[in-house]
Each structure stands twice: as structure tokens, then as C-alpha cells.
Amino acid sequence: MPRLSAAAHIQRRLWGTDPRAWADLAEAHNQPLFEAVLDAAKAGPGTRLLDVGCGSGLTLVLAQERGAIPVGLDISPGLLQIARDRLPDADLREGDLECLPFGDATFDAVTGINAFQFAGDPQKALREAARVTRPGGRVVASLFAAPERSQGTVVHEAMNALIPPDQAADHAPYSLSAPGHLEAALADAGLNLAGHGEVLCHWRYKTMDDAIRALLCSAGGARAIEAAGQAAVRDVLQPALGQFQDPRTGVVTLANTFRWVAACRPLRPAGQHDLLRSLPRPIGTGRLVAHQPDGATDKGPQLR
């Protein structure tokens, strides 16, 4: 495995505290988002699909059910082991978003669900995703919408209050969430924007204990425990979650809004399009005529 970035080392540590709890109590709550991202990636029979930050592999399981060929990369050995148990024949690798261990133009689609914002250099990670996508293929990135759009923000802020200020940048789940930031980052990676959307996911836990355990095993929970200890984290989570608990059933529900953006890798290298447009082209009569520029650009297929 190539040398890891400093950010990858941090994420590896934070996501390795309780992989089984993550798979059992947390991951499935975001399945509506996973399905929307796979739709945007046009995942179907024969699609070679790479999921970066694949975690315990549910997105790849769903992709395989559609007939796609699943490939995954994650920094957490514990989460990857669960993914391997679920997908014993899939190519699942431990690695860094900023240095993907795959050749150029290997995949029809690359997905990154709540992943790119945790790279030390998100722009580099997106360029890597673009590099391993074939011309005409798709990169689909998703993350939290603006913080005020999700009830989970209350919980994140409660845990974040326990983190020393000099460590605040180690984990930034909303770093690309401002309107237009993800779109700009994909465009800067050399991709053509193709569509976007939002998905509402309900994190629903049967008991308060399940809710706390699910949050403790997240990266945000792990870093709060490192800073203040598990007892202190539990002490802030209980009241933060209490406002979302049904007093009759004890069920805790958080409604969280996510957004996704799809982009296509251009069919031609940057700059080649304008050169080709300036050349003469044949028309029905067989004569060559000068092509008249019409200002159109090749943006790939559009999602509506």
C-alpha cells in the first residue's frame, strides 16, 4: 500500500473503534442516499463501479444487486473486513482517497458517499476519482447538506464542543456542504456537471442506548472520546438526543438531509474539443464546409 497522507492516518484511527456497531446500527440508515447515488451513477448490469470510502460495504452490496461489478476502497481495516464478509468475491482494498491504487480510466463510475470531505486535500481526492473514471463515465459525490438542514448537527456540535480548538480541523463533515462548493470542486477536477439532488434520511434507533452506541462508533464520536473520555461523551449525547426521542416508544429519530452531485469525465482531453470544432466536417452533399461554432459545450448526459 502506498504511503498514507496524514489525514488518512487520522481517519483510519477514528473509523476503527467499533466497526460492527457501525455496520449494525448506523450504516443502513443512509440506504436511501446510497440508492440515489447509484441511480445517478447509472449503476446497472456490467457497470464497473468503484466506491471510495466504502466502509462496511452496503453501497457495494446494493450495486451488485443491480448487476454492477463492485470494487471498494477504504482506510479502515475493520470496516473492510465486514465488507469482505458481505462481498467475498469483490476487489476491496485498503487505501487513501488521495492516491487510488487503480489505473487510469478503469471504471465506468466512481462514487464517494460522505467521503471526499474527509480527505486532507479533497481536490486531490476528486482528481484521483476523475483519473480512474473512463471518458464518458461518472463521478458521483455526496455529503451532508448545509448543517442547519440536518437534526444530526445538534449531536455533532455537542460532541465537537469536547474537542480542543487546535484539533477542530481533524474532522470536518460539512467542509464541502455550502451551496456550490461541491460543484466547484468537481469542475476543478476537470469534470462536467451532470446532475444533482437531495435525499432525506432518517436515523432511527430503537433505544437511546442504540443511538448513543451508533454515534460513539462514528469518527466524530471516536475523536470526542479521545479528547474527553467515553463517560463525558455519553453525558453530552443523552440530552442532545433526548429532544428527538419519542416519550411513548423510546425510539430516537434524527432527520438528516444529504445532497449529491454527479459529473462526467469529458470524452476528450481539455482543450481538444475546441481544436476539433475548428476543423471542417462533412455534410450530406459530401462537400467539406467550415464548421460554424454554436457555443455548445459537451456536458455529457444530463440528469433531470
- At residue 178 the predicted structure's pLDDT band, cuts being 50, 70 and 90, is confident
Question: Are the C-beta atoms of residues 90 and 73 closer than 8 Å to each other?
Answer: no
Q: Residue 65: helix, strand or coil by DSSP?
A: helix
Nearest alpha carbon to residue 122 among 139, 102, 104, 146? 139
- At residue 173 the predicted structure's pLDDT band, cuts being 50, 70 and 90, is confident
Gyration radius of the chain over CA positions: 21
204-259: per-residue pLDDT in tens?
999 999 999 999 999 999 999 999 999 999 999 999 999 999 999 999 999 999 99
- Domain 6-268: CATH superfamily is Vaccinia Virus protein VP39 (3.40.50.150)
Neighbours of 278 (CB within 10 A): 9
- At residue 270 the predicted structure's pLDDT band, cuts being 50, 70 and 90, is low
Neighbours of 276 (CB within 10 A): 10
Higher pLDDT, residue 14 or 276: 14
**Where exactly are the structural domains of the chain?**
6-268
pLDDT exceeds 60 at position 294: no
**Average pLDDT across the chain, whole number:** 88
pLDDT of residue 278: 37
pLDDT exceeds 70 at position 50: yes
Angle at 43 between CA 38 and CA 45, to 5 degrees: 150
Q: The cell 487510469 sits on which residue?
A: 104
The type of residue at 17 is T
pLDDT exceeds 80 at position 151: yes
Spatial distance between the Cα atoms of 133 and 50, rounded to a whole number of angstroms = 9
Spatial distance between the Cα atoms of 16 and 11, rounded to a whole number of angstroms = 8
Question: Are the C-beta atoms of residues 118 and 178 closer than 8 Å to each other?
Answer: no
pLDDT of residue 170: 63
Q: Residue 292: helix, strand or coil by DSSP?
A: coil
% the chain with pLDDT above 90: 78
Spatial distance between the Cα atoms of 260 and 196, rounded to a whole number of angstroms = 5
Half-sphere exposure in the Cβ direction for 130 (13 Å, CA): 23
Angle at 119 between CA 241 and CA 129, to 5 degrees: 120
The type of residue at 182 is L
Q: Residue 258: helix, strand or coil by DSSP?
A: strand
Nearest alpha carbon to residue 116 among 71, 61, 75? 75
302: burial class by Cβ within 10 Å (0-12, 13-18, 19+)? Answer: exposed
pLDDT exceeds 90 at position 293: no
% the chain with pLDDT above 70: 86
User: If residue 220 lies in a helix (H) or strand (E), which one and from where to where?
Assistant: helix 219-228
pLDDT of residue 165: 85
pLDDT of residue 263: 98
186-199: per-residue pLDDT in tens?
999 999 999 999 99
53-82: per-residue pLDDT in tens?
999 999 999 999 999 999 999 999 999 999
Question: Are the C-beta atoms of residues 73 and 100 closer than 8 Å to each other?
Answer: yes
79-114: per-residue pLDDT in tens?
999 999 999 999 999 999 999 999 999 999 999 999
Give the global pTM.
0.86
- At residue 166 the predicted structure's pLDDT band, cuts being 50, 70 and 90, is confident
User: If residue 213 lies in a helix (H) or strand (E), which one and from where to where?
Assistant: helix 208-216
